[in-house]
Copies of this chain bind each other. A is one copy, B any other.
Amino acid sequence: MDAANIRSLIAQLGDLKTGLYQKDFLLTWNQSDHDLRAVLYAAEILEEMYRANISTRVFQGGLAVSNFRDKSTRTRFSFASAASLLGLTAQDFDESKSQIAHGETVRETANMISFLTEVIGIRDDLFVGYGHEYMKEVAESVETGFCDGILPQRPCVINLQCDRDHPTQSLADLLHLQKTYGSLDALRGKKIAMTWAYSPSYGKPLSVPQGIITLMTRYGMEVVLAHPKGYDLQPETLQIAGRHAAASGGSFRQVDRMAEAFEGADIVYPKSWAPFVHMEKRTTLLKAGQGGKVEEIEKEGLALNAGFKDWECSEKLMALTKGGKGLYMHCLPADITDVSCPAGEVAASVFDRYRDATYHEAEHKLYVIAAMILLTRFESPARILGDLEAKAPPRRAV
Protein backbone atom coordinates (compact mmCIF):
# COMPACT_ATOMS: atom_id res chain seq x y z
CA MET A 1 0.00 0.00 0.00
CA ASP A 2 1.44 3.38 -0.89
CA ALA A 3 1.53 6.56 1.19
CA ALA A 4 -1.50 8.08 -0.53
CA ASN A 5 -3.65 5.11 0.43
CA ILE A 6 -2.50 5.27 4.03
CA ARG A 7 -3.34 8.98 4.10
CA SER A 8 -6.76 8.23 2.66
CA LEU A 9 -7.48 5.68 5.40
CA ILE A 10 -6.35 8.20 8.00
CA ALA A 11 -8.74 10.80 6.55
CA GLN A 12 -11.62 8.32 6.73
CA LEU A 13 -10.76 7.54 10.34
CA GLY A 14 -10.79 11.28 11.04
CA ASP A 15 -14.36 11.55 9.75
CA LEU A 16 -15.75 9.11 12.29
CA LYS A 17 -17.37 10.33 15.49
CA THR A 18 -16.26 7.93 18.20
CA GLY A 19 -16.88 7.92 21.92
CA LEU A 20 -13.79 5.93 22.82
CA TYR A 21 -11.50 8.62 24.18
CA GLN A 22 -10.86 8.15 27.93
CA LYS A 23 -13.11 5.07 27.89
CA ASP A 24 -12.62 1.28 27.96
CA PHE A 25 -13.25 -1.43 25.39
CA LEU A 26 -15.14 -4.24 27.09
CA LEU A 27 -18.08 -5.47 24.98
CA THR A 28 -18.63 -4.78 21.27
CA TRP A 29 -22.39 -4.49 21.81
CA ASN A 30 -21.89 -1.46 24.03
CA GLN A 31 -19.94 0.35 21.32
CA SER A 32 -21.37 2.41 18.48
CA ASP A 33 -20.94 1.50 14.82
CA HIS A 34 -18.51 4.38 14.47
CA ASP A 35 -16.44 3.04 17.36
CA LEU A 36 -16.15 -0.35 15.69
CA ARG A 37 -15.34 1.12 12.28
CA ALA A 38 -12.70 3.29 13.90
CA VAL A 39 -11.05 0.19 15.37
CA LEU A 40 -10.99 -1.45 11.93
CA TYR A 41 -9.55 1.66 10.28
CA ALA A 42 -6.93 2.26 12.94
CA ALA A 43 -5.90 -1.41 12.90
CA GLU A 44 -5.50 -1.36 9.15
CA ILE A 45 -3.55 1.91 9.23
CA LEU A 46 -1.17 0.63 11.91
CA GLU A 47 -0.67 -2.59 9.96
CA GLU A 48 0.11 -0.71 6.77
CA MET A 49 2.39 1.77 8.50
CA TYR A 50 4.30 -1.13 10.02
CA ARG A 51 4.71 -2.72 6.59
CA ALA A 52 5.79 0.66 5.20
CA ASN A 53 8.54 0.85 7.87
CA ILE A 54 7.06 3.89 9.61
CA SER A 55 7.48 4.04 13.38
CA THR A 56 4.14 4.11 15.19
CA ARG A 57 5.55 4.96 18.60
CA VAL A 58 3.01 7.43 19.87
CA PHE A 59 4.40 6.96 23.36
CA GLN A 60 7.94 7.64 24.57
CA GLY A 61 7.58 5.43 27.62
CA GLY A 62 4.60 4.55 29.76
CA LEU A 63 3.28 1.13 30.71
CA ALA A 64 0.88 -1.43 29.27
CA VAL A 65 -0.12 -3.80 32.05
CA SER A 66 -1.44 -7.28 31.38
CA ASN A 67 -3.56 -8.86 34.05
CA PHE A 68 -4.50 -12.47 33.31
CA ARG A 69 -6.19 -15.11 35.38
CA ASP A 70 -4.70 -17.92 33.31
CA LYS A 71 -1.49 -18.51 31.40
CA SER A 72 -2.61 -17.81 27.84
CA THR A 73 0.82 -17.30 26.33
CA ARG A 74 -0.47 -16.19 22.95
CA THR A 75 -2.79 -13.48 24.20
CA ARG A 76 -0.06 -12.16 26.44
CA PHE A 77 2.27 -12.16 23.45
CA SER A 78 -0.22 -10.26 21.28
CA PHE A 79 -0.81 -7.67 23.93
CA ALA A 80 2.90 -7.12 24.54
CA SER A 81 3.44 -6.86 20.78
CA ALA A 82 0.74 -4.21 20.45
CA ALA A 83 2.23 -2.30 23.40
CA SER A 84 5.68 -2.37 21.84
CA LEU A 85 4.27 -1.20 18.51
CA LEU A 86 3.05 1.99 20.18
CA GLY A 87 6.14 2.56 22.33
CA LEU A 88 4.72 1.31 25.63
CA THR A 89 6.55 -1.03 27.97
CA ALA A 90 4.60 -4.21 28.69
CA GLN A 91 4.41 -5.33 32.29
CA ASP A 92 2.73 -8.40 33.74
CA PHE A 93 0.65 -8.10 36.87
CA ASP A 94 -1.46 -11.17 37.35
CA GLU A 95 -4.22 -11.55 39.89
CA SER A 96 -4.16 -14.88 41.64
CA LYS A 97 -5.69 -17.73 39.68
CA SER A 98 -7.67 -19.12 42.54
CA GLN A 99 -9.32 -16.08 44.07
CA ILE A 100 -11.90 -13.74 42.68
CA ALA A 101 -10.64 -10.39 43.92
CA HIS A 102 -13.15 -7.57 44.43
CA GLY A 103 -13.89 -4.44 46.35
CA GLU A 104 -11.05 -2.73 48.19
CA THR A 105 -8.47 -5.18 46.87
CA VAL A 106 -9.33 -4.49 43.25
CA ARG A 107 -9.49 -0.75 43.80
CA GLU A 108 -6.12 -0.63 45.52
CA THR A 109 -4.33 -2.90 43.09
CA ALA A 110 -5.79 -1.11 40.09
CA ASN A 111 -4.42 2.19 41.36
CA MET A 112 -1.05 0.81 42.48
CA ILE A 113 -0.29 -0.53 38.98
CA SER A 114 -1.51 2.59 37.18
CA PHE A 115 0.73 5.50 38.15
CA LEU A 116 2.49 5.34 34.78
CA THR A 117 -0.03 3.17 32.97
CA GLU A 118 -1.86 3.92 29.72
CA VAL A 119 -3.65 0.60 29.27
CA ILE A 120 -4.62 -2.45 31.33
CA GLY A 121 -5.34 -5.55 29.25
CA ILE A 122 -7.36 -8.13 31.15
CA ARG A 123 -8.11 -11.72 30.31
CA ASP A 124 -10.57 -13.33 32.69
CA ASP A 125 -12.74 -15.95 31.02
CA LEU A 126 -12.72 -18.77 33.56
CA PHE A 127 -15.53 -17.70 35.84
CA VAL A 128 -18.95 -17.32 34.33
CA GLY A 129 -20.56 -14.19 35.64
CA TYR A 130 -17.34 -12.69 36.96
CA GLY A 131 -14.90 -11.89 34.15
CA HIS A 132 -16.78 -8.91 32.79
CA GLU A 133 -17.69 -7.75 36.28
CA TYR A 134 -14.04 -7.79 37.28
CA MET A 135 -13.08 -5.66 34.28
CA LYS A 136 -15.80 -3.15 35.09
CA GLU A 137 -14.54 -2.94 38.67
CA VAL A 138 -10.98 -2.26 37.51
CA ALA A 139 -12.24 0.35 35.06
CA GLU A 140 -14.30 2.10 37.74
CA SER A 141 -11.34 2.04 40.11
CA VAL A 142 -8.99 3.80 37.69
CA GLU A 143 -11.73 6.20 36.62
CA THR A 144 -12.17 7.25 40.25
CA GLY A 145 -8.42 7.31 40.80
CA PHE A 146 -8.03 9.64 37.85
CA CYS A 147 -10.92 11.92 38.83
CA ASP A 148 -9.60 12.15 42.40
CA GLY A 149 -6.18 13.21 41.16
CA ILE A 150 -4.43 10.00 42.26
CA LEU A 151 -3.56 8.92 38.73
CA PRO A 152 -1.91 11.36 36.31
CA GLN A 153 -3.74 9.68 33.45
CA ARG A 154 -6.82 7.49 33.03
CA PRO A 155 -5.66 4.05 31.82
CA CYS A 156 -8.09 2.34 29.50
CA VAL A 157 -9.15 -1.22 30.26
CA ILE A 158 -9.20 -3.57 27.29
CA ASN A 159 -11.04 -6.88 27.36
CA LEU A 160 -8.65 -9.52 26.06
CA GLN A 161 -11.33 -12.17 26.66
CA CYS A 162 -14.02 -12.41 29.27
CA ASP A 163 -16.91 -14.70 30.07
CA ARG A 164 -19.23 -12.77 27.71
CA ASP A 165 -17.27 -11.38 24.78
CA HIS A 166 -13.92 -11.57 23.03
CA PRO A 167 -13.82 -8.27 21.18
CA THR A 168 -10.20 -8.34 20.01
CA GLN A 169 -10.86 -11.72 18.38
CA SER A 170 -14.22 -10.89 16.83
CA LEU A 171 -12.96 -7.56 15.47
CA ALA A 172 -9.85 -9.24 14.03
CA ASP A 173 -12.26 -11.71 12.42
CA LEU A 174 -14.40 -8.86 11.09
CA LEU A 175 -11.32 -7.13 9.66
CA HIS A 176 -10.40 -10.42 8.00
CA LEU A 177 -13.86 -10.59 6.41
CA GLN A 178 -13.73 -6.95 5.35
CA LYS A 179 -10.38 -7.52 3.65
CA THR A 180 -11.55 -10.79 2.09
CA TYR A 181 -14.76 -9.34 0.63
CA GLY A 182 -13.61 -5.75 0.06
CA SER A 183 -15.81 -3.84 2.49
CA LEU A 184 -18.20 -4.15 5.41
CA ASP A 185 -21.09 -3.47 3.02
CA ALA A 186 -20.10 -6.52 1.00
CA LEU A 187 -20.89 -8.68 4.03
CA ARG A 188 -24.61 -7.91 3.75
CA GLY A 189 -26.53 -11.08 2.99
CA LYS A 190 -23.53 -13.35 3.39
CA LYS A 191 -24.22 -16.48 5.38
CA ILE A 192 -21.85 -17.31 8.24
CA ALA A 193 -22.11 -20.58 10.16
CA MET A 194 -20.81 -20.38 13.71
CA THR A 195 -20.80 -24.01 14.75
CA TRP A 196 -19.58 -26.10 17.61
CA ALA A 197 -16.95 -28.70 16.72
CA TYR A 198 -15.53 -31.68 18.54
CA SER A 199 -12.31 -31.35 20.52
CA PRO A 200 -10.61 -33.83 22.83
CA SER A 201 -9.84 -31.03 25.27
CA TYR A 202 -12.23 -29.45 27.71
CA GLY A 203 -13.36 -26.08 28.85
CA LYS A 204 -12.73 -23.84 25.86
CA PRO A 205 -14.41 -20.51 26.55
CA LEU A 206 -17.73 -19.42 25.07
CA SER A 207 -16.53 -15.93 24.32
CA VAL A 208 -15.56 -16.63 20.71
CA PRO A 209 -18.96 -17.88 19.46
CA GLN A 210 -20.73 -15.26 21.59
CA GLY A 211 -18.49 -12.56 20.16
CA ILE A 212 -19.11 -13.74 16.59
CA ILE A 213 -22.91 -14.00 16.71
CA THR A 214 -23.31 -10.64 18.43
CA LEU A 215 -20.91 -8.82 16.11
CA MET A 216 -21.64 -10.30 12.67
CA THR A 217 -25.37 -9.76 13.03
CA ARG A 218 -24.68 -6.01 12.99
CA TYR A 219 -23.59 -6.09 9.37
CA GLY A 220 -26.63 -7.61 7.72
CA MET A 221 -25.20 -11.10 7.67
CA GLU A 222 -27.21 -14.30 7.91
CA VAL A 223 -25.78 -15.75 11.08
CA VAL A 224 -26.51 -19.38 11.87
CA LEU A 225 -25.48 -20.91 15.17
CA ALA A 226 -25.24 -24.70 15.46
CA HIS A 227 -24.30 -26.87 18.40
CA PRO A 228 -25.27 -30.18 19.99
CA LYS A 229 -27.83 -30.21 22.76
CA GLY A 230 -26.32 -28.96 26.02
CA TYR A 231 -23.81 -26.58 24.49
CA ASP A 232 -25.95 -23.48 24.76
CA LEU A 233 -24.40 -20.06 24.89
CA GLN A 234 -25.27 -17.38 27.46
CA PRO A 235 -28.92 -16.46 26.80
CA GLU A 236 -28.11 -12.72 26.85
CA THR A 237 -25.86 -13.05 23.80
CA LEU A 238 -28.57 -14.88 21.82
CA GLN A 239 -30.96 -12.02 22.50
CA ILE A 240 -28.40 -9.45 21.46
CA ALA A 241 -27.69 -11.33 18.23
CA GLY A 242 -31.40 -11.43 17.48
CA ARG A 243 -31.81 -7.73 18.14
CA HIS A 244 -28.81 -6.85 16.00
CA ALA A 245 -30.06 -8.98 13.11
CA ALA A 246 -33.46 -7.34 13.22
CA ALA A 247 -31.92 -3.88 13.20
CA SER A 248 -29.41 -4.53 10.41
CA GLY A 249 -31.72 -6.44 8.09
CA GLY A 250 -29.72 -9.63 8.59
CA SER A 251 -30.88 -12.76 10.38
CA PHE A 252 -29.98 -14.95 13.29
CA ARG A 253 -31.14 -18.47 13.81
CA GLN A 254 -30.11 -21.64 15.59
CA VAL A 255 -30.01 -25.16 14.22
CA ASP A 256 -28.87 -28.43 15.74
CA ARG A 257 -26.99 -30.01 12.86
CA MET A 258 -23.66 -28.94 11.45
CA ALA A 259 -24.71 -29.83 7.90
CA GLU A 260 -27.71 -27.55 8.07
CA ALA A 261 -25.53 -24.65 9.15
CA PHE A 262 -22.95 -25.32 6.43
CA GLU A 263 -25.55 -25.57 3.66
CA GLY A 264 -24.84 -22.72 1.25
CA ALA A 265 -22.69 -20.85 3.77
CA ASP A 266 -20.24 -18.25 2.53
CA ILE A 267 -18.23 -18.58 5.73
CA VAL A 268 -17.89 -21.32 8.35
CA TYR A 269 -16.39 -20.99 11.83
CA PRO A 270 -16.32 -24.48 13.41
CA LYS A 271 -14.91 -24.36 16.92
CA SER A 272 -15.22 -26.22 20.19
CA TRP A 273 -16.55 -24.74 23.41
CA ALA A 274 -17.65 -25.95 26.80
CA PRO A 275 -21.31 -26.30 27.83
CA PHE A 276 -22.45 -23.15 29.63
CA VAL A 277 -24.05 -25.07 32.47
CA HIS A 278 -20.79 -26.86 33.14
CA MET A 279 -18.95 -23.56 33.23
CA GLU A 280 -21.50 -22.32 35.75
CA LYS A 281 -21.14 -25.39 37.93
CA ARG A 282 -17.39 -25.01 37.83
CA THR A 283 -17.59 -21.39 38.86
CA THR A 284 -19.85 -22.25 41.78
CA LEU A 285 -17.44 -24.92 42.99
CA LEU A 286 -14.40 -22.67 42.67
CA LYS A 287 -16.15 -19.85 44.50
CA ALA A 288 -17.05 -22.28 47.27
CA GLY A 289 -13.41 -23.31 47.54
CA GLN A 290 -14.21 -26.78 46.27
CA GLY A 291 -11.66 -26.76 43.47
CA GLY A 292 -11.09 -30.47 43.99
CA LYS A 293 -14.49 -31.28 42.53
CA VAL A 294 -13.78 -29.40 39.32
CA GLU A 295 -12.07 -32.47 37.95
CA GLU A 296 -15.34 -34.41 38.12
CA ILE A 297 -17.07 -31.76 36.05
CA GLU A 298 -14.27 -31.87 33.53
CA LYS A 299 -14.67 -35.63 33.24
CA GLU A 300 -18.41 -35.18 32.71
CA GLY A 301 -17.67 -32.55 30.09
CA LEU A 302 -15.22 -34.76 28.21
CA ALA A 303 -17.69 -37.65 28.28
CA LEU A 304 -20.37 -35.37 26.86
CA ASN A 305 -17.95 -34.15 24.18
CA ALA A 306 -17.11 -37.71 23.14
CA GLY A 307 -20.67 -38.23 21.97
CA PHE A 308 -20.18 -35.66 19.22
CA LYS A 309 -17.02 -36.72 17.43
CA ASP A 310 -18.83 -36.44 14.14
CA TRP A 311 -18.97 -32.65 14.60
CA GLU A 312 -15.86 -32.26 12.49
CA CYS A 313 -15.36 -29.74 9.69
CA SER A 314 -14.81 -32.42 7.05
CA GLU A 315 -14.41 -32.16 3.28
CA LYS A 316 -17.90 -33.59 2.98
CA LEU A 317 -19.33 -30.75 5.01
CA MET A 318 -17.23 -28.16 3.21
CA ALA A 319 -18.73 -29.42 -0.04
CA LEU A 320 -22.10 -28.20 1.23
CA THR A 321 -20.92 -24.58 1.46
CA LYS A 322 -21.60 -22.08 -1.31
CA GLY A 323 -20.04 -23.46 -4.45
CA GLY A 324 -18.07 -25.80 -2.20
CA LYS A 325 -15.81 -22.83 -1.58
CA GLY A 326 -16.97 -21.40 1.71
CA LEU A 327 -14.32 -19.54 3.72
CA TYR A 328 -13.04 -21.51 6.71
CA MET A 329 -12.23 -19.41 9.79
CA HIS A 330 -10.63 -20.23 13.12
CA CYS A 331 -9.14 -18.25 15.99
CA LEU A 332 -6.25 -20.75 16.29
CA PRO A 333 -4.87 -23.02 17.49
CA ALA A 334 -7.27 -25.49 15.87
CA ASP A 335 -7.52 -29.15 16.85
CA ILE A 336 -6.71 -30.77 13.51
CA THR A 337 -7.66 -34.41 13.01
CA ASP A 338 -4.65 -36.71 12.67
CA VAL A 339 -2.32 -33.76 13.11
CA SER A 340 -2.73 -32.34 16.58
CA CYS A 341 -5.05 -35.14 17.79
CA PRO A 342 -6.71 -38.34 16.53
CA ALA A 343 -10.06 -36.61 16.10
CA GLY A 344 -10.55 -32.87 16.17
CA GLU A 345 -12.39 -29.80 14.99
CA VAL A 346 -11.27 -29.89 11.39
CA ALA A 347 -9.96 -32.32 8.77
CA ALA A 348 -6.30 -31.88 7.89
CA SER A 349 -6.95 -31.26 4.19
CA VAL A 350 -9.50 -28.54 4.94
CA PHE A 351 -7.19 -26.77 7.36
CA ASP A 352 -4.31 -27.09 4.94
CA ARG A 353 -6.24 -25.24 2.24
CA TYR A 354 -7.09 -22.33 4.56
CA ARG A 355 -3.91 -22.19 6.64
CA ASP A 356 -2.64 -18.95 5.14
CA ALA A 357 -6.06 -17.35 5.51
CA THR A 358 -6.22 -18.23 9.22
CA TYR A 359 -2.71 -16.85 9.72
CA HIS A 360 -3.74 -13.52 8.19
CA GLU A 361 -6.85 -13.58 10.38
CA ALA A 362 -4.64 -14.03 13.44
CA GLU A 363 -2.24 -11.25 12.47
CA HIS A 364 -5.01 -8.65 12.65
CA LYS A 365 -5.49 -9.27 16.35
CA LEU A 366 -2.42 -7.45 17.57
CA TYR A 367 -3.28 -4.45 15.43
CA VAL A 368 -6.84 -4.46 16.76
CA ILE A 369 -5.43 -4.32 20.30
CA ALA A 370 -3.10 -1.47 19.31
CA ALA A 371 -6.00 0.33 17.63
CA MET A 372 -8.09 0.10 20.80
CA ILE A 373 -5.23 1.58 22.84
CA LEU A 374 -4.76 4.40 20.35
CA LEU A 375 -8.46 5.28 20.17
CA THR A 376 -9.08 5.19 23.90
CA ARG A 377 -5.93 7.09 24.81
CA PHE A 378 -5.90 9.94 22.26
CA GLU A 379 -8.52 12.54 21.54
CA SER A 380 -7.40 13.01 17.93
CA PRO A 381 -5.93 9.70 16.80
CA ALA A 382 -6.26 10.53 13.10
CA ARG A 383 -4.20 13.69 13.42
CA ILE A 384 -1.53 11.85 15.41
CA LEU A 385 -1.34 9.04 12.84
CA GLY A 386 -1.13 11.68 10.12
CA ASP A 387 1.78 13.36 11.89
CA LEU A 388 3.57 10.02 12.18
CA GLU A 389 2.98 9.20 8.53
CA ALA A 390 4.44 12.56 7.55
CA LYS A 391 7.31 12.86 9.99
CA ALA A 392 8.11 9.69 11.94
CA PRO A 393 11.55 8.11 11.63
CA PRO A 394 11.84 4.70 9.96
CA ARG A 395 11.03 1.80 12.26
CA ARG A 396 14.24 0.04 11.30
CA ALA A 397 17.39 1.68 9.96
CA VAL A 398 17.53 2.06 6.18
Q: Does A73 contact B (CB under 8 A)?
A: yes
Q: Which residues on B sit within 8 Å (CB–CB) of A145?
A: 359
A108 and B77 contacting across the interface, CB-CB below 8 Å = no
Besides the contacts A60-B395, A384-B397, what 7 more A-B pairs have beta carbons closer than 8 Å?
A50-B116, A50-B152, A57-B61, A62-B84, A81-B115, A108-B359, A111-B359
Q: Determine if A353 is an interface residue (Cβ-Cβ < 8 Å).
A: no
User: Which residues of A are in contact with B by a Cβ distance under 8 Å?
Assistant: 50-51, 55-63, 73-74, 77, 80-81, 84-85, 87, 89-91, 93, 103-105, 108, 111-113, 115-116, 118, 145, 148-150, 152, 332-333, 336, 339-340, 356, 359-360, 362-363, 366, 377-378, 384, 387-388, 393-397
Contact of A396 among B59, B148, B363 (CB under 8 A): B59
- What is the total number of copies of this protein in its complex? 3
Q: Given A55-B60, A89-B84, A396-B62, are A332 and B108 neighbors across the interface (CB < 8 Å)?
A: yes
Residues of chain B lying within 8 A (CB to CB) of residue A87: 61
Determine the distance from Cα of A74 to Cα of B93 in the docked complex, in whole angstroms: 9
Q: A167 → chain B, closest Cβ, in Å?
A: 19
**Inter-subunit contact A93/B73 (CB<8 Å):** yes
**Residue picked from A50, A81, A93, A333, most chain B C-beta under 10 Å:** A81
Complex contact B112–A394 (CB within 8 A): no
Q: Is B61 within 8 A of A363, CB to CB? A: no
Known: A50-B116, A332-B112, A359-B145. A77 touches B57 (CB 8 A): no
The answer for the CA separation of A278 and B388 in the assembled complex, in Å, is 57
Chain B residues near A59: list those with CB within 8 A: 395-397
Contact B84 A63 (CB under 8 A): yes
> Please, which residues of chain B bring their CB within 8 A of the CB of A56?
61
CB distance from A51 to the nearest CB of B (A): 5
CA distance A366 to B114 in the complex (A): 11
Pick the most buried of A60, A85, A356: most chain B CB atoms within 10 A of its CB.
A60
Identify the closest chain B residue to A348 (Cβ).
Answer: B104
A177 to B113, CA, bound (A): 22
The smallest beta-carbon distance between A380 and chain B, in angstroms, is 9
Rounded to whole angstroms, the CA-CA distance of A359 and B112 in the bound complex is 7
Are A81 and B116 touching (Cβ within 8 A)? yes
> Which residues of B have CB within 8 Å of A51?
152
